[in-house]
Amino acid sequence: MSATGTPAPAGVPQLVPRRRRGTELVLLVAALVVGVGAFVTAELGYSGEIPDNLVSVAGGFVALAVIAHVAVRLLAPYADPVLLPLVVMLNGLGLAMINRIDLDLVASTDDGPFAGQQVLWTMIGVSGFVIVLALLRDHRRLQAFTYTLGLAAIVLLLLPLLPVIGREINGARIWIRVGPLGFQPGEVAKIFLVVFFAGYLVVKRDALALAGRRFAGIDLPRGRDLGPILVAWLVSLGVLVFQRDLGSSLLFFGLFVVLLYVATERVGWIVVGGLLFAAGSWFGYLTFAHVQERVTGWLDPFSDTDAYYQIVQGLYGLAFGGMVGTGLGQGDPSLTPFSYSDFIVTSLGEELGLAGLMAIILCYGLIVERGLRIALLCRDAFGKLLAAGLAVSFALQVFVVVGGVTRLIPLTGLTTPFLSYGGSSLVANWAIVALLLRISHGTRRPAPQVTPLQADDATQVVRLP
């Protein structure tokens, strides 16, 4: 049996992919050294002492990483060996920085500590990671729930608008609260929408790929096929209008346009999507005051340092960090409001410098690259689009977050995956990684034998790298 799942003729070597779990374990140890090392170094740089919560926080995080590795080893042994170590390293760096900011917040304000809560959310995220791997044994089963999950995503997006459980925090109505528990349903809706987009486009891509008129060398789509992208555009505008959430609006619409291009390979859809995005942005700027404030803070934050205090302080922190940073524990990241969540990128940039920040962005780039690699190697169309969509969701989220805090684009308010404090984003992103690993396992594992293999001197086993 070949690695592609077709019976191997007599005399043809049998290709058996290596599981690479040992490689993953080595990389995981290196990732834990970085995360725990940053945790200890930040405390030493701040107070010159070993952290009192080293066992409870760092030890608990190490235990969770080991549990995740064991789950992959048992439930998805042929999965990609690089994704989990990258995620663990980013999660560990975020935990180290959150604990470091706690030292300032506890000493000067009533906020915090947040590090212990982040470990708790990491535990929930890893639990969800294991549950996804255990319950979803074949990613193709999700295709049967395409429209069900699409409807569920719409319901989740509407929940924050309800008068009893919906909550408005920092100007955006994207939270729900049931008793003591608060959650952002949009983070789960993001995953459901990726599944819905992938399932829908697999069925409709042939019709959507038909070319209409040709303009400037680009085949534009037919007018009758513009319905899906118009619906996605209206939904994203609805998120902007009713929830005042610019980041999620950009993420949802951008994700659909990219998947539409991947499914049809028509540049015309990118052109149409870009025009609709420009029209929606212009409409939002003319209509909503909070969008105008974001644009003003992007173009000239120093015009009103009180109104745009957060952006200004974040920029000062990045400038103070310079090329190599002040050193963990030796900066003042807590001067920036929400330095542990929305602006944790500037906190890391201040103490790790441009070099450290670029290394972190490179880690995100590797996650996206591994996700796109999984999409390229996947043998079924639904899995290709699903993996590509999950990878693109990471890319778009990191782009709008880092671009917002560095004034490349207007500030959007999204959280940085695995780094920022917050349970909703952390749990959802761990689930996304589990889905990518499940698709990778299904792609790389040897296919079941159709007929029993007969012992033959000509049959060989070749280990793939």
Distance (Å, rounded) from C-alpha 330 to C-alpha 100? 10
Q: Is the pLDDT of residue 3 over 50?
A: no
Report the relative pairing of strands 218-221 and 172-178 from DSSP bridges: unpaired
pLDDT tens digit sequence for 272-319: 888 888 888 888 888 888 788 888 989 999 988 888 999 999 999 999
**What does pLDDT average to over the chain?**
84
Q: Is the pLDDT of residue 364 over 60?
A: yes
What is the percent of the chain where pLDDT is above 70? 86
CA-based torsion, 53, 54, 56, 58: positive or negative: positive
pLDDT tens digit sequence for 368-379: 999 999 999 998
**Residue-range domain boundaries for the chain:** 20-77+79-444
Better-predicted residue by pLDDT, 268 or 301 = 301
Distance (Å, rounded) from C-alpha 392 to C-alpha 201? 16
Q: How confident is the model at residue 389 (pLDDT cuts 50, 70, 90)?
A: very high
Say how many residues make up the chain. 465
Q: Is the pLDDT of residue 345 over 60?
A: yes
Among the residue ranges 63-72, 94-103, 215-224, the one predicted with the least confidence is: 215-224
pLDDT tens digit sequence for 7-47: 545 444 556 678 889 999 999 999 999 999 999 999 999 88
Distance (Å, rounded) from C-alpha 394 to C-alpha 367? 8
Better-predicted residue by pLDDT, 35 or 453 = 35
> How many other C-beta atoms can be found within 10 angstroms of the C-beta atom of residue 330?
14
**Mean pLDDT to the nearest integer, 335-356:** 91
On whether the CB atoms of residues 67 and 130 are closer than 8 A, the answer is: yes
Helix segments in 322-456, DSSP class H: 344-377, 381-405, 423-444
Q: How confident is the model at residue 461 (pLDDT cuts 50, 70, 90)?
A: very low
pLDDT tens digit sequence for 184-195: 888 888 899 999
Among the residue ranges 31-40, 164-173, 241-250, 258-267, the one predicted with the least confidence is: 164-173
| pLDDT score at 356 | 94
| pLDDT score at 2 | 47
| pLDDT score at 5 | 46
> How many other C-beta atoms can be found within 10 angstroms of the C-beta atom of residue 397?
25
| pLDDT score at 455 | 42
Better-predicted residue by pLDDT, 96 or 240 = 96
| pLDDT score at 311 | 92
Among the residue ranges 129-138, 243-252, 382-391, the one predicted with the least confidence is: 243-252
**Mean pLDDT to the nearest integer, 146-161:** 87
| pLDDT score at 402 | 92
| pLDDT score at 268 | 78
Residues facing residue 169 across a β-bridge: 172
